Structure 1
Amino acid sequence: MGCCSARCMLILLCCLQLITALEKQVFDFLGYQWAPIMINFFHIIVVILGLFGVIQYRSRYVLMYLLWTLLWVGWNVFVSCVYLDVGGLAKDSDVLSLGVSSHRSWWKVNGPGCESDGLPSSAGWQKNQQNPELSTVTSCWLEYQYVEVLHCIGQLLISLPGFVYACYLASTFSDEEDSFNFIGGFHHPSKPSQFLF
């Protein structure tokens, strides 16, 4: 196994996906965005299982990762459309918080270079921390919706090559599983396989 093999590249991409998904999970928790929290949680589990499948040469786990990657790409495109107000979707709707809370993206108030208009009192500060709708941000270097879209683009840039490598490895692993009997070694096509998966 070379250091630039498809297997090593998919392991590297899965590790990058885990790191970026955990980072995204933290900021979604800070913003009380419940739909992304649940989807990120499933994503982390499937990436770990896909990583296990790549390391252990298990094509079923790689196929599961492959199918989930399609859903993950669709989810990130949907979230980007929500934040860019595409197709009747609105960033100010309760779609991502599932209508449970009035919280929005953590980056709305805490984005890079954001400044609030004035310092609230300590009681007001506590209210602002509980409800970001009460705080007013005058200027940011980068608006929060673009920060969220950049997160989604980063996920897509990691997921798309991961999808390609997973397709290749799933076909390679299934070919190896067809030609190798783990109990008796390689089997001939004329003899029935004794190994049942």
Structure 2
Amino acid sequence: MKVTAPVLAALMLVPLAPMAQAAPGVPAATAADADAAARLTTARAIVELSMPESQRDAMFGQMMDAMMANMLGGMMKGDPKLAATLRENPEAARVFAAFVARQKQLSLADLKQTTPEMIEAIAQAYARRFTLAELTQIEAFVRTDAGARFVQAGPTLFSDPAIAAWQRGIAEKAQARMPAEINRLLTDLKPVLKDADAAPAKS
């Protein structure tokens, strides 16, 4: 068969066909990367506006104080025996108060130390769950006075009377059922541990 110029040109173009088909995919990937980067940037701005750096220590401190107070209030109601012990034994009350204060300080220190990681984690979570258009709308709202007040109030809501009462109720129920739950756990574990002790040791 005589190889004409058109046929030769067609044969030369065959290896290039897959490349020509794949080319449109490159801009698509680049566009997706650009969208993901834009979403993350916008999400970071939203989180920064929600928790301004200058207010974080005060926000975290208020949140921790309220949460601890609510939980302890529920614990005392859920465990009258513990409440009576602390009420009747000043030294026990002092030791318990010192323990609670230390736990609050440690928790607050952990929160402050890991704030950058928390901020980034929240931003990434927002970026994964919302489109760029949605994030842009959210950012616009957060930049308004009402929007800023709304999102910045979040960490302080634990001191609101209604939320405080709900949290105390949850803590009270958890504390009240704790002895029974511990006994149930020990009962369920007893035969398992007994069987493990009775099993011959592996050489």
On whether the aligned pair clears a TM of 0.5, the verdict is no
Give 1 or 2: higher strand fraction.
Answer: 1
Could you tell me the TM-score, scaled by structure 2's length?
A: 0.28
**Greater relative contact order: 1 or 2 (C-alpha under 8 angstroms, separation 6 or more)?**
2
Could you tell me the TM-score, scaled by structure 1's length?
A: 0.29
